[in-house]
Amino acid sequence: MSAVRLLVGTRKGAFILTSEAKRERWQIAGPFFGGWEIYHVKGSPADPNRLYASQSSSWFGQQIQRSNDGGENWAPTGNKFAYDGALETDQWYDGTQHPWEFKRVWHLEPSLTDPDAVYAGVEDAALFRTINGGQQWHELPGLRSAKGHLWQPGAGGMGLHTILLDPTNPSRMFIAISAAGAFRTDDAGQSWNPINQGLKSPFQLPDPAAEVGHCVHRIALHPSRPRVLFMQKHWDVMRSDNAGESWYEISGNLPTDFGFPIDVHAHEPETIYVVPVKSDSEHFPPEGKLRVYRSKTGGNEWEPLTKGLPQRDCYVNVLRDAMAVDTLDPCGVYFGTTGGQVYASASAGDRWAAIVRDLPAVLSVEAQALP
Amino acid sequence: MIRVVLPYHLRVLAGVQGELQLAVAGDVTQRSVLDALEAAYPVLRGAIRDYATQGRRPLLRFFACQQDISYEPPNAPLPDAVANGAEPLLIIGALAGG
């Protein structure tokens, strides 16, 4: 690998950050789609120059942009996300049933093998797929049959924000929804089951161990061990060793177990990263110290990573899709903040430096290692 | 020809500059003008009218001849001055504070 490309979505446009493999000098291109919210930009594993971007606006709705040349040029593709209609309501804030309404695409997950195939996680929560490069999108409605009438939006909306594809089993994938929980399919999206056993959400759900309704913020896996899942829940960092059949807590010695992102080292399946924030109403680092926490033991034992990160007067947040790793050696770790900084570590988290400090609030970061 | 003025972000999205001119067959109404606009610029589908309801997106307004005609029925005739090209139909994005 000779270069790294970061795809950064922000509140007011997308940015592409590129570097040589040492990850010392970065070029910044953008904004692309200035003025629009870019919830997510992601490249195809099968063709790294094929990029997809979710571009949305409260005024003008949803667009999906596609690039075939690594982000030099973009063109809008299909933007019609029509629910299948088999299930028509979820549970609204007041407890009444509320019609599903499309608001935006939160997350785009290209197929591992086909650059024209992409999954889209949307708000109100549902999963869509294209098999023709984004021209048409079709819902996989079986997901909403998994107790969708009991799902309800959290304060941030009812978004399907995480899509994990099992590299060893094309029929299996995992998704997560705020605030419904985690779900798994073993038949390529036809049918789904909640996988929330072991999650506990006291003060959030009347039954803290309910089958659905948990506010899962993010789940992650290492491609070599897709049965092992890591989760940052609203509160609690969790782990499953059986593809989500059951979960147990691994928050251990974290200063707080509230947070949004979680990610796994590219070469060490037991090394994971989180960014704790103080609480559900104080979305900033404890004590004003921006610290990534790393566990090399698959959880429970965590070490703060602080070198190069602000250790006073820092009150930014790191959102759920705003952390990524690259596949170089040493593993690169990246995250973006609501203050507009994008931090990079070319040493698996030992040392950090800001690539850029003054972007709009960062919504998402993805990393690509390029040949 | 019917004259249409798009807000900045929709001009960028459609790849156009300045005012548009559209040929509209039959009665000149909100619906027929927007149908012609979307036929000429398919990227605007879903950006002005909601895909599911075909209703105006809530943060957009339609102005013509110094009047807010956003709440006129979609099939109501637009003012004569718009229909004969003397005045444009303005598609306006709501103000955002900050």
Percent of all residues in chain B with a pLDDT value above 70, rounded to a whole number: 98
Shortest Cα distance, chain A CAs vs residue B39, angstroms: 14
The count of structural domains within chain B is 1
* Cβ–Cβ contact B83 with A under 8 A: no
Question: Smallest Cα–Cα separation from A199: which of A225, A181, A175?
Answer: A181
> Is B45 an interface residue toward A (CB < 8 Å)?
yes
Minimum-distance CB partner of A60 among B47, B51, B52: B47
- Long-range own/partner contacts, residues A164-173 (CB < 8 A, 24 or more apart): A164/A109, A164/A219, A164/A220, A164/A221, A164/A226, A164/A229, A165/A109, A165/A111, A165/A112, A165/A119, A166/A221, A166/A226, A167/A112, A167/A223, A167/A226, A168/A226, A169/A226, A170/A113, A172/A226, A172/A243, A173/A119
pLDDT of A196 over the 90 cut: yes
Kindly report each contact of residues A237-242 with a partner whose C-beta sits within 8 Å and lies 24 or more positions away, as own/partner. Answer: A237/A262, A237/A274, A237/A299, A238/A198, A238/A199, A239/A298, A239/A299, A240/A195, A240/A198
- pLDDT tier for residue A43 given thresholds of 50, 70 and 90: very high
CB contact under 8 A, B9 and A36: yes
Percent of chain A with pLDDT over 90: 89
Measured in angstroms, the CA of B71 and the nearest CA of chain A are apart by 17
Per-residue confidence (pLDDT) for residue A95, from 0 to 100? 78
Domain residue limits at B33: 2-93
The CATH number linked to B30 is 3.10.20.30
**Mapping DSSP to helix (H, G, I), strand (E, B) and coil, where does residue A224 land?**
coil
Tell me the pTM: 0.96
Check residue B98 and give its pLDDT: 60
Q: Is B98 domain-assigned? A: no
Say which amino acid occupies A65: Q
Query: What percent of chain A has pLDDT above 70?
Result: 99
What are A55-92's pLDDT values in tens digits? 999 999 999 999 999 999 999 999 999 999 755 777 78
Which pLDDT band, with edges at 50, 70 and 90, does A365 fall under? very high
For the residues A364-371, what does the mean pLDDT come to?
96
Instruction: Point out the residue among A36, A58, A80 whose CB comes nearest to the CB of B59.
Output: A58
What confidence tier does A205 reach under pLDDT thresholds 50, 70, 90?
confident
Note the pLDDT of residue A98: 83
B66 in any annotated domain = yes
**CB-based contact, B85 to chain A, within 8 Å:** no
The nearest CA of chain A is from the CA of B53 a distance in Å of 11
Mean pLDDT, chain A, rounded, equals: 96
Question: What pLDDT is recorded for position B67?
Answer: 96
Domain ranges of chain A: 77-334+341-355
A202 touching chain B per CB within 8 A? no
User: Is residue B77 situated within a structural domain?
Assistant: yes
Q: Is A114 exposed, middle or buried (0-12, 13-18, 19+ CB in 10 A)?
A: middle
May I ask the CATH class of domain A77-334+341-355? mainly beta
**Distance (Å, rounded) from C-alpha A140 to C-alpha A126?**
8
B16 touches chain A (CB under 8 A): no
Give mean pLDDT, residues B42-55.
Answer: 94
pLDDT exceeds cutoff 80 at A1 = no
Residue B28 in any domain: the answer is: yes
How do residues A3-21 score in pLDDT, each as one tens digit? Answer: 999 999 999 999 999 999 9
Q: Predicted ipTM?
A: 0.93
User: pLDDT tens digits for A214-248?
Assistant: 999 999 999 999 999 999 999 999 999 999 999 99
A58 touches chain B (CB under 8 A): yes
